[in-house]
């Protein structure tokens, strides 16, 4: 095989520190960044919604579909065996990336939303009953609110919410007092998609486990910005979405502690999640296959593995340092604009700045910036309770990756000033 990532023959660009980080060499790997929008060079500042893809991921998908495509687990012929090996190797890659103990703790899903729904509809349905409680935080994405609301409504349970302050930090002073014998699970985001807040999940997990309560960590916004070690975190569940970490859409991961996955009932019924079926009885497969009904997103998993290997080829600490430097620079530049209000000024943030402009709707901000080749996100970011907390309907959000530059930030600031000229 030629295109599939081979760590012996292919390496990602090196990065050693904030001054030595060769961002232009990184950008060369991302073809989408080298285009014009409305006659202006593209500035892509929407990576929190979805990241661009390096050429190695694009090539991996093309080669799989062009040369090695077949269904997995069910064929004795050569192509099926190759596809199966590539698919299961992707699972091993994810296990290594997250430092999970066992391969069977890695379940492939469509994304973080499906991963959370899987836990809510399996663990939740089995463990939550009338009068029980589920704890989430005030800064959750809808994907970590609605599934728990649904199971609470079905079971007669109660959803409780960890509040946050006016800066976008969780107020954990009374968190431990919220945990009662009725608390069955705590589900919190690692990094807020709307504010960029990095939550102290290790401390949350420590407190929860002291009371015997499992914790799900929504890692959709953290896996591409922070080193992740599920054993060090000691979380019970962790989720990520492939498209947010330089991989394809339609693929994601649920990590679950082995002993929990083993006792959870299946999520969906169909092929590959069974050992045997009669009209009288079905015997379910072992984990993780028990949760992977039907033909999986084979190419997506293989593409995700290529993305993770690409990302893992960097010095992750250098990426974190560079992105912190970029976020600090962006925050300082945006604070120079008198009419601009940054929404979310938490003590620790990661690669996103949400803001409003006096008398300008965020959708108008996004539309005018787009005319200048600058891509940002405008809206409530599927986090309406966050918007309600700050008394606003929406924000504009600039989110960064290790392929962004200080020049991108400068273009953003120039673009915002041009937005203000239109409305003054």
Q: What is the pLDDT of residues 91-134, one digit of tens each?
A: 999 999 999 999 999 999 999 999 999 999 999 999 999 999 99
| Alpha carbon distance 27, 29 (integer Å) | 5
| 3-17, 216-230, 322-336, 360-374: range with lowest mean pLDDT | 3-17
Give the pLDDT band (50/70/90) at residue 424: confident
The neighbouring-strand residues paired with 399 are 46, 352
How high is the pLDDT of residue 8?
40
- Residue 382 annotated to the active site: yes
**Active-site residue identified among 152, 235, 358, 382:** 382
- Residue 272: asked if its preceding bond is cis (omega within 30°), the reply is no
State the DSSP H helix or E strand holding residue 389, giving kind and residue range, or none if neither: helix 384-390
Q: Look at residue 10 and tell me whether its pLDDT is greater than 80.
A: no
Q: Look at residue 87 and tell me whether its pLDDT is greater than 60.
A: yes
| Alpha carbon distance 263, 177 (integer Å) | 29
Give the pLDDT band (50/70/90) at residue 14: very low
Is this model's pTM higher than 0.85 or not? yes
| Alpha carbon distance 186, 160 (integer Å) | 9
- Domains in the chain (CATH in brackets) are 23-50+315-422 (3.90.1150.10), 60-312 (3.40.640.10)
**Phi then psi dihedrals of residue 197, to 5 deg:** -60, 130
How high is the pLDDT of residue 29?
98
Q: How many residues does the chain have?
A: 424
Task: Dig out the tokens for 419 from the structure.
Answer: 């937005």
**Phi then psi dihedrals of residue 415, to 5 deg:** -65, -40
> Which percentage of the chain shows pLDDT scores above 90?
92
Yes or no: say if 412 and 45 are a contact pair by the CB < 8 Å rule: yes
């Amino acid at each position: 095989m030629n295109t599939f990532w081979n760590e012996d023959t292919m390496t990602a660009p090196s990065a050693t520190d904030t001054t030595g980080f060769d961002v232009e060499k990184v950008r060369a790997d991302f073809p989408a960044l080298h285009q014009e929008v409305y006659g202006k060079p593209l500035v892509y500042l929407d990576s929190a919604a979805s990241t661009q893809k390096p050429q190695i991921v694009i090539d991996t998908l093309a080669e799989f579909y062009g040369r090695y495509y077949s269904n997995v687990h069910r064929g004795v012929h050569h192509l099926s065996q190759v596809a199966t090996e590539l698919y299961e190797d992707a699972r091993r890659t994810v296990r290594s990336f997250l430092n999970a103990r066992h391969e069977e703790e890695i379940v492939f899903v469509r994304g973080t939303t499906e991963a959370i729904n899987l836990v809510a509809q399996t663990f939740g349905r089995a463990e939550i009953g009338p009068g029980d409680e589920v704890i989430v935080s005030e800064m959750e994405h809808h994907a970590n609110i609605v599934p728990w609301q649904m199971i609470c409504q079905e079971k007669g349970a109660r959803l409780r919410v960890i509040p946050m302050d006016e800066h976008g930090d969780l107020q954990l002073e009374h968190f431990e007092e919220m945990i009662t014998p009725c608390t069955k699970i705590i589900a919190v985001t690692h990094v807020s998609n709307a504010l960029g807040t990095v939550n102290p999940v290790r401390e949350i997990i420590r407190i929860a486990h002291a009371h015997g309560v499992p914790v799900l960590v929504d890692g959709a916004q953290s896996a591409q910005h922070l080193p992740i070690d599920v054993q060090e975190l000691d979380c019970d569940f962790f989720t990520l979405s492939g498209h947010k970490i330089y991989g394809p859409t339609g693929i994601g991961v649920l990590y679950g502690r082995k002993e929990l996955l083993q006792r959870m009932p299946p999520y969906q019924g169909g092929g590959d999640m069974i050992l045997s079926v009669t009209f009288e009885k079905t015997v379910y497969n072992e984990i993780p296959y028990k949760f992977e009904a039907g033909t999986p997103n084979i190419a997506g998993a293989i593409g995700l593995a290529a993305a993770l290997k690409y990302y893992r080829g960097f010095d992750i600490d250098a990426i974190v340092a560079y992105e912190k430097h970029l976020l600090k620079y962006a925050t300082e530049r945006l604070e120079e604009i008198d009419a601009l209000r940054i929404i979310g000024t938490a003590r620790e943030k990661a690669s996103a700045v949400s803001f409003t402009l006096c008398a300008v709707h965020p959708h108008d901000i996004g539309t005018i910036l787009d005319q200048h080749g600058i891509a940002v996100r405008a809206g409530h970011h599927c986090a309406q309770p966050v918007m309600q907390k700050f008394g606003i309907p929406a924000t504009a959000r600039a989110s960064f990756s290790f392929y962004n530059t200080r020049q991108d930030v400068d273009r953003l600031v120039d673009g915002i000033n041009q937005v203000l000229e239109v409305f003054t």
